[in-house]
Structure 1
């Protein structure tokens, strides 16, 4: 299977959190094909807040050698023909399909979408197709027989690559972002504004979805309570530029030392900052997955729009706060009728207790 001249195309859509969840699969592909020329086919982010996939994986040439991107959901025949020609020109012989299955109203339509993608890559000249959904568990969320809960997304993707061998999802090396010296230095430069911050909390209160937003008043209450218990600890806020104003108000609620890095750091430099943090607090979001990838314990505030476990961060060092309601699994982006009763039933005291428990578990002197 392994060839020094192998020309591989990896098809993966998504932004920060989606990308982190598939890191182990990317590592496995490179370990299986160490000398391969790898093209990454991904989407142009729909949401302006979303980071493009290549800005998360970096440009070192390890995870991929080049990027092709296209507007997701396009039905423009001219654009699709152009993309087909670009792939054929690269003489791709193997396509590895890491796209999450796009669930439609019926199972038939869901399978039809995957079949359409398969036929597209065959038309592009690929002789070997790996990772395409095949069994029922690939097309719909199912109970994991090993755990008795819903299958974790990282595991579902890894399972589809079994032809390459097992992917050890519990090994740190398979979650390594391969941060560069320059990125680590850039993180240090940002933190130098605090003059040796010592232990610190990192937080991100942003989210792309209204249904996942715990809301600002809860964050401010939480941070006021935590600052009373951790008066000497700095708070570092991370996120996109549109989250800067909310982060400023959160820092005001904190009242102590702090730093607002929203919009100032790339996803990878943010990862380097998070690597130094003692705990991360945030929504079910990209920064949460980024923090977990670099080994920082997360206290994560989840809505119930997805079922439990499916999108949890990696590792057994996190504290997930998820209230399962009768409407769990709704997948709503905007929740009006139920007034976000799942996530808004989580109290600031509950999150505060979780943060202090994580710090105590890691033997920090508080």
Structure 2
């Protein structure tokens, strides 16, 4: 049986989706499982043993054609939109399953109401369980399984060597203890203010400069912003230098990763890196459960969580962010791990 799963667009959500994909393939191993995803996120899924085929999102007409050509027996929407539900309908799949959003129920055979407070990965597994129930398959998920996100691509031959070569021009060689900071996020409401980041880096320098090297990472389009934000600050600016696999390899060797609630924070968890994640406009419980090596910083405001790209409340969650608590969690993590 062919099954098509339409994945979300953000890296963190894609990595969390791997829990439900693993559960689906484990309980229905005879299925041919294809995922539809943006091409710039393909590295997150390469070498995943639970995926048989990756279909890249192009444009709406092309996506519909690809879905029809695949001839799925079932379509499961991990990202439910009106268009994705229409795509599922036009694919002529017998089972079309997703969340009740954007009038998607018009085209779906089963549309369940999403619990936006519950763990996102729990909700995705619920979609899979709804599908498997149609086949008479019922199976529990072990507690430890929820915490494991699949990202085997960083272990590919040659990746580690590429990372070593990219670090050499910065005077960083194997064996050096690394702290890695990713200050950016897709939403402005997720990232701290520039002056807060500078204060954090200044504190880290006073505490850890003798033992560690600080690396600042991010996407290519964030390099100029990082240059301005961290000018004359401690640390090496490696923003835009690593792809997903290389970043995963780098984080697997780091002593600690510090990040807002964004894709690299979940990449770090997938490779087993001790991580401190700070939340502002999103809810920590929504994106757990977390491995033991992850520490969370969150101080909700009356308007939290808002999940907005921009703030209508003068960015209170950022201005009132407990930087001292973040510093304590960083110190505790380095002492423990």
Normalised to the residue count of structure 1, the TM-score between the two structures is: 0.76
Match of 1:228 in 2: 206
Match of 2:237 in 1: 260
Match of 2:106 in 1: none
- For the 8 Å contact 1:27–1:174, the answer to whether it is kept is no
C-alpha separation between the residues in 1 aligned to 2:318 and 2:251? 24
Structure 2 SS opposite 1:42 = strand
Bigger mean CA offset, 153-162 vs 271-280: 153-162
- For the 8 Å contact 2:21–2:50, the answer to whether it is kept is no
Match of 2:68 in 1: 88
Match of 1:105 in 2: none
C-alpha separation between the residues in 1 aligned to 2:288 and 2:48? 28
**Is residue 316 of structure 1 aligned with residue 292 of structure 2?**
yes
C-alpha separation between the residues in 2 aligned to 1:340 and 1:315? 30
Deviations along 1:187-220, one digit per CA (max 9) or x if unpaired, are 3333444023422111111112121121111111
| TM-aligned CA distance change 1:157 to 1:60, over 3 Å | closer
Shift of 1:280: 0.8
- For the 8 Å contact 1:218–1:347, the answer to whether it is kept is no
- For the 8 Å contact 2:34–2:52, the answer to whether it is kept is yes
- Which runs of 5 or more structure 1 residues have no equivalent in the other structure? 1-5, 45-51, 103-112, 142-149
| TM-aligned CA distance change 1:190 to 1:27, over 3 Å | farther
**Is residue 26 of structure 1 aligned with residue 17 of structure 2?**
no
Match of 1:237 in 2: 216
Match of 2:120 in 1: 153
| TM-aligned CA distance change 1:229 to 1:68, over 3 Å | closer
Q: Among residues 111, 123, 134, which one is paired with 2:90 in the alignment?
A: 123
| TM-aligned CA distance change 1:123 to 1:338, over 3 Å | closer
Match of 1:175 in 2: 149
- For the 8 Å contact 1:243–1:262, the answer to whether it is kept is yes
Shift of 1:170: 2.6
- Which runs of 5 or more structure 2 residues have no equivalent in the other structure? 101-109
Q: Among residues 146, 152, 164, which one is paired with 1:188 in the alignment?
A: 164
- For the 8 Å contact 2:99–2:111, the answer to whether it is kept is no
Q: Among residues 25, 42, 54, which one is paired with 1:54 in the alignment?
A: 42
Q: How many residues align?
A: 316
C-alpha separation between the residues in 1 aligned to 2:197 and 2:18? 30
C-alpha separation between the residues in 2 aligned to 1:126 and 1:267? 33
- For the 8 Å contact 1:282–1:299, the answer to whether it is kept is yes
Bigger mean CA offset, 62-71 vs 15-24: 62-71
**Is residue 205 of structure 1 aligned with residue 193 of structure 2?**
no
C-alpha separation between the residues in 2 aligned to 1:152 and 1:358? 24
Q: Among residues 58, 61, 67, which one is paired with 2:55 in the alignment?
A: 67
C-alpha separation between the residues in 2 aligned to 1:117 and 1:263? 31
Shift of 1:61: 7.0
Shift of 1:132: 5.6
Structure 2 SS opposite 1:170 = helix
RMSD: 2.9
C-alpha separation between the residues in 1 aligned to 2:289 and 2:226? 23
Normalised to the residue count of structure 2, the TM-score between the two structures is: 0.82
Deviations along 1:65-100, one digit per CA (max 9) or x if unpaired, are 2314144xx6xxxx2xx544432322222323322x
Shift of 1:186: 2.4
Match of 1:298 in 2: 275
| TM-aligned CA distance change 1:172 to 1:277, over 3 Å | farther
Structure 2 SS opposite 1:273 = helix
- For the 8 Å contact 2:119–2:289, the answer to whether it is kept is no
C-alpha separation between the residues in 2 aligned to 1:35 and 1:260? 47
Match of 1:97 in 2: 77
Deviations along 1:244-298, one digit per CA (max 9) or x if unpaired, are 234445665543xx43332121112111111111111111111112112222122
**Is residue 346 of structure 1 aligned with residue 321 of structure 2?**
yes
- For the 8 Å contact 1:210–1:333, the answer to whether it is kept is yes
